[in-house]
Amino acid sequence: MQPGIVYVDGKWYPPERAKVSVFDHGLLYGDGVFEGIRFYNGRVFKLDRHVDRMFESARMIGLTPSVTKEEFRDIILQTCQKSGLTDGYLRPLFTRGEGDLGLDPRKAKRTSLVVICSTISLYGDKHRTGLSAIVASVRRPPRICLNPNVKSLNYLNNILAKMEANEKGADEALMLDLEGNVAEMSADNIFVVKGHTVYTPQTSNCLVGITRETILELCEGRYPVRTEMFKLDFVLQADEVFLTGTGGEVAPVTSIEGHPIGSGKPGPVTQELQQRYFDLVRSTGTPIPTGSGSGSATTDAASSTA
C-alpha cells in the first residue's frame, strides 16, 4: 500500500481511496500544472518558492486556482502533518477541472486541487555511484510551442525520452532542443563541470528548476558559474556532469552513450555540491505543524469518492 495521504478539493483520503472525475480536463488533455516538493526532518524545503512557481505556471496557462496562495500553503502543510511522514515528497496539482469531452477549457467550470503526499526514490545507490545516460532522439519542443517554464501535466515529450533510455538500458536521457543545444535530462536540469567552473544551460529551453537555483546559490563564492547554451560535444568533454531536480535531488552522471565522463566516476565538485545540498535540505525549511492542524477541510477515510 502506498504510504501517505491525498487531498482532493477539500478533503483528505487514504491514497487508495483518492479519486478524480474521468471528465477532469487534467486527465483528458493534460490541462493543468503541478509541482514537486520535498520535505525532510519535518521541514518543507523552499515551500514559498514552490508555491510561487506553481501559481506562475497556472497564470501562464490562464488557469485560475480555486485557492489563494496562503490557503494553498496551509493545505500543503496540513497534508504533510496528516501524512504522518517526517520525510517525503509532495505532488500538488491544479487541473482545469471537470468538463465535457471537448477540449474547450471554458467547459470546465471550476479548477481542481489535488495534493499527493507520499515518498519517492528515483536513483537509489546511483546517487553515490553515478548514472548512465543516452542522448534522446526526441527533442524538446521550442519555447514558441510550449514555454518550458510551465510545469504542465503534459509530460509525454519527457516520457518518450525516458522510454528510450529504458530501452537502451540507461538510467537517464539527455535532451537537446531543435538547434542541437543541450536542454535538460528527462525530468531534471543538467550541470557540466570543467576545471572548477560550473556550467548550466540558460532557461530558454529548460525549466527554471528550484534545485537548480539552490545549486547556483551553493556555488556562490566557491565556484565560478556560467549559464549559457552549449552543444553535446561540450558535455562529452566535461570533467563532471550532474543532474538536479526535486525528485532526483543531485546525482552524478558518469557516462553518456557509453562514453565515460571525466574519470568515469563521480567527481569532487559534484560530490561536494551534493553533500552541501543534502546538508541544507535536511536542516532548513518551513516547519510542518504538529497537533490536529487547522483549516476547514476534513479527513474522509471511509469515502471512496472525491
**pLDDT tens by residue, 41-79:** 999 999 999 999 999 999 999 999 999 999 999 999 999
**Residue 296 pLDDT greater than 80, yes or no:** no
| Three cell numbers, residue 152 | 504542465
pLDDT recorded at residue 301: 47
**Residue 15 pLDDT greater than 90, yes or no:** yes
pLDDT recorded at residue 306: 34
Looking at residue 72, the DSSP 8-state letter turns out to be H
* Helix, coil or strand: residue 110: coil
Q: Domain 126-281 belongs to what topology? A: D-amino Acid Aminotransferase; Chain A, domain 2 (3.20.10)
Question: Which amino acid appears at position 245 of this protein?
Answer: G
**Residue 89 pLDDT greater than 90, yes or no:** yes
Global confidence as pTM: 0.93
* Mean pLDDT in residue range 170-180: 97
pLDDT recorded at residue 1: 79
**Residue 293 pLDDT greater than 50, yes or no:** no
195: confidence class by pLDDT, cuts 50, 70, 90:
very high
Looking at residue 239, the DSSP 8-state letter turns out to be S
Helix 210-219 vs helix 268-281: angle between axes, to the nearest 10 degrees?
A: 110
Q: What CA–CA distance (Å, rounded) separates 37 from 99? A: 28
**Residue 295 pLDDT greater than 60, yes or no:** no
Residues 6+ apart with CB under 8 A from 106: none
**Residue 285 pLDDT greater than 80, yes or no:** yes
* Mean pLDDT in residue range 207-222: 97
pLDDT recorded at residue 230: 97
Q: In this structure, are residues 141 and 157 in contact, taking their beta carbons and an 8 Å threshold?
A: yes
Q: What CA–CA distance (Å, rounded) separates 47 from 37? A: 7
**Residue 228 pLDDT greater than 80, yes or no:** yes
* Mean pLDDT in residue range 200-205: 94
**Residue 279 pLDDT greater than 60, yes or no:** yes
Question: Which helix or strand (DSSP H or E) is residue 69 part of?
Answer: helix 69-83
Q: What CA–CA distance (Å, rounded) separates 85 from 1? A: 15
* Mean pLDDT in residue range 131-135: 98
Q: What CA–CA distance (Å, rounded) separates 278 from 157? A: 30
pLDDT recorded at residue 172: 98
| Three cell numbers, residue 269 | 565538485
292: confidence class by pLDDT, cuts 50, 70, 90:
low
Residues 6+ apart with CB under 8 A from 11: 297, 298, 299, 300, 303, 306
- The alpha carbon of residue 5 and the mean position of all alpha carbons in its chain are separated, in whole angstroms, by 19
pLDDT recorded at residue 240: 98
pLDDT recorded at residue 95: 98
**Residue 5 pLDDT greater than 90, yes or no:** yes
- CATH architecture classification, 5-120: 2-Layer Sandwich (3.30)
pLDDT recorded at residue 298: 62
Give domain limits for the chain: 5-120, 126-281
Residues annotated catalytic, as ranges: 151
**Residue 303 pLDDT greater than 50, yes or no:** no
Q: By C-alpha distance, which of 288, 287, 189 is closest to 242?
A: 189
Higher pLDDT among residues 301 and 240, named by residue = 240
| Three cell numbers, residue 7 | 487531498
- Cα Rg of the chain (Å, integer): 20
pLDDT recorded at residue 180: 97
* Mean pLDDT in residue range 271-290: 97
In the predicted model, what is the mean pLDDT of the chain? Answer: 94
pLDDT recorded at residue 299: 63
- For residue 103, report the phi and psi dihedrals to the nearest 5 degrees: -85, -5
Question: Which helix or strand (DSSP H or E) is residue 193 part of?
Answer: strand 189-194
Q: What is the 3-state secondary structure (H, E, C) of 102-142?
A: CCCHHHCCCCEEEEEEECCCCCCCHHHHCEEEEECCCCCCC
Do strands 131-135 and 249-256 pair parallel, antiparallel, or not at all (unpaired)? parallel
Percent of the chain with pLDDT over 90: 93
Percent of the chain with pLDDT over 70: 95
Beta bridge partners of 77: none
- The alpha carbon of residue 72 and the mean position of all alpha carbons in its chain are separated, in whole angstroms, by 18
* Helix, coil or strand: residue 161: helix
Question: Which helix or strand (DSSP H or E) is residue 283 part of?
Answer: none
